[in-house]
Amino acid sequence: MENIDTVKVWGEVLNSIKVSVSPAIFSTWFTETYIADLKQNDDRVSIEIGCKSNFAKNTIETRYFGLVQDTLIKSLNSKCDLIFSVKQLPSSVPQSNNLPPLFQTISSVSENTKNSLIRSGIRPSFSFDNYAVSSSNQMAWAAAEAVSKNPGSAYNPLFIWGGVGVGKTHLMNAVGLYLLNIDPSVQILACTGEQFTNDIVEGIRNKSTQLFRNKYRKLNVLFLDDVQFIAGKDAVQEEFFHTFNALVGNGAQIILTSDRPPSEISKLEERLRNRFEAGLIVDIAPPDFELRCAIVQIKSKEKGLELPMDFVQLIAGNIDSPRKIEGFLVRLFSEVRLKNSEIDTRLIESLLEKGGENSVASSSKKSPDEIIDIVCKYFSLSKKTITGQVRSRNIVRPRQILMYLLRTQFQLPLEEVGRLIGNRDHTTVMHAVEKITQLASTDVNTREYISGIKNKL
């Protein structure tokens, strides 16, 4: 094993890894990695993998160590010991020039496909290529991709459920976009439960139910978003039952999304529930920190700007859903354009502190005193202790988290937060908010604390 071409070996490894992970994950973590050093020791090979940042290093080492090691062992036909380090990609080492496209826009498709997208209600910006995948949504992504390759028989119906803004509609649209790119003539319709309801009500009112049936029952693919909306509406459920049977009988593919599984949709007819459960039911969990980082990068690139990794971490550590991330980036880039300023840590922290995206104040009926009680119970501390003067670490950190939540969730003035937490100075509160904002992007325990407390809200 002398004179090993490390560039060639790593290229083979990347090509293999590319098949095992999603395009977004590959682009986020692996495109700027390389073999920094390789040493042969008897029957083993010691390899140092250079990563572009400490966060990329930690992510690959924690989540993909086994994948990288196994791939290298197969490539070198030798046992391998890996070391990961933070090193920038040397100019002499070429980046992978065979990367999958991250983004697909309507301008990149044919005229026929454009017309089909408009007719079908498919959004061209929601593709498989810009859908970030991690453990929280990998099953749903794999199922949707399987359906796109074999519609009508892979999983029919495919039922995707999860909370608001986790990517259900994106996945469903990605299937439609894939199918229309292959064959623009395929009859696809994407609609919501509300639109389906309105169509059937309109058909009954105008005595034009046959037009409604012609619209829905001759499709090759039907996507119904928020199917829980039809529950409890007898006439709508009756019509959907027959539409469902007609489509499946004709070999058409059906994909449904909901905020809960079929078994938990109240007032859903049993015959519909049984049909939904006859297919594949997959859930999408809220995105983890790694996935949120990938989403921040994807969304910022779509807006024509690449953020440094420390900014990406700061945003992902403080905002908990893809939809809120996108809204925050819109505000961030608008602020930059309007004020002709540069993006820096201070600007990001300022916008985060205003609580626009991760605030629950508008929807939560909790008072500041109730938040204090929840935090005290979460950390098993008394109110007297957390608002007192004790400065041991096991009390200071919960106290800072409490200040952070009061500030970001309620937009309380610094002075008011200080008054609630033992009449502390506003500079103490400011320091606590800045400290927790930074820790939320780097420390997994802090993120878990904040997430756990928010769940209790």
Q: What is the pLDDT of residues 355-373, one digit of tens each?
A: 544 444 343 456 888 889 8
The per-residue DSSP string of 345-401 comes to HHHHHHHHHTTTTT--TTT----HHHHHHHHHHHTT--HHHHTSS---HHHHHHHHH
> The tokens of 167 are what?
């990517």
> What DSSP string runs through 163-221?
STTSSHHHHHHHHHHHHHHH-TTS-EEEEEHHHHHHHHHHHHHTT-HHHHHHHHHT-SE
Is residue 317 annotated as involved in ligand binding?
A: no
Q: Considering its fold, how many domains does the chain have in total?
A: 4
Q: For residues 40 and 124, state if they share a domain.
A: no
Query: Of the residues 239, 265, 284, which one is the last residue of a structural domain?
Result: 284
Give, to the nearest 10 degrees, the angle between helix 54-63 and helix 65-76.
80
Mean pLDDT over residues 436-442, rounded? 78
Q: Kindly give the pairing relationship between strand 188-192 and strand 221-225.
A: parallel
Residue 417 has pLDDT above 60, yes or no: yes
User: Kind of pairing, strands 34-41 and 44-51?
Assistant: antiparallel
| Domain-ending residue, one of 353, 377, 400 | 353
Alpha-carbon distance of 206 to 201, in angstroms, equals 9
Residue 140 confidence (pLDDT) above 80: yes
Nearest CA-CA partner of 435 in 387, 401, 411, 405? 401
What is the predicted pLDDT for the residue at 347?
85
Q: What is the structure's pLDDT at 206?
A: 86
In the predicted model, what is the mean pLDDT of residues 45-51?
Answer: 91
Annotation-wise, does 193 bind a ligand?
Answer: no
Arithmetic mean of pLDDT, 251-278: 93
| Structural domain that includes position 113 | 106-284
User: How does pLDDT run across 283-307, given as a tens digit for each residue?
Assistant: 998 887 778 888 888 888 887 777 8
Residue 109 has pLDDT above 70, yes or no: no
> For residue 353, is pLDDT > 60?
yes
**CATH label of the domain that carries residue 313:** 1.10.8
- State yes or no: pLDDT of 88 exceeds 90: no
Is residue 145 domain-shared with residue 279, that is, in the same domain? yes
Tell me the pLDDT band of 110, cut-offs 50, 70 and 90: low
- Tell me what the mean pLDDT of segment 312-341 comes to: 83
How far is it, in rounded angstroms, from Cα 418 to Cα 413? 9
* Domain containing residue 394: CATH number: 1.10.1750.10
Average pLDDT over residues 68-78: 87
Q: What is the pLDDT of residue 99?
A: 37
Q: Which of 440, 260, 303 lies closest to 358 in space, CA to CA?
A: 440
Closest CA to 104 of 178, 31, 48, 53: 178
Percent of the chain with pLDDT over 90: 30
Q: What is the pLDDT of residue 360?
A: 41
Q: Name every residue whose Cβ is closer than 8 Å to that of residue 376 and which is 6 or more positions away in sequence.
A: 382, 383, 385, 386
CA–chain centroid gap for 278, Å, is 27
Query: Any idea which of 92-101, 140-149, 298-307, 333-342 has the lowest mean pLDDT?
Result: 92-101
Residue 168 marked ligand-binding: yes
Q: Is the pTM of this model over 0.85?
A: no
- Interhelix angle 270-277/234-249, nearest 10 degrees: 30
CATH code for position 65: 3.30.300.180
Residues 332 and 191 occupy one common structural domain: no
Verify that 374 and 268 share a domain, yes or no.
no
Predicted local confidence at residue 365, as pLDDT: 55
Looking at the domain assignment, is residue 362 inside a domain? no
Write down which residue in 224, 254, 284 finishes a domain: 284
Separation of alpha carbons 254 and 400, rounded Å = 49
167 annotated as a binding-site residue: yes
Residue 361 in domain: no
**Which tops the pLDDT comparison, 144 or 323?**
144
> 147 pLDDT band (50/70/90 cuts)?
very high
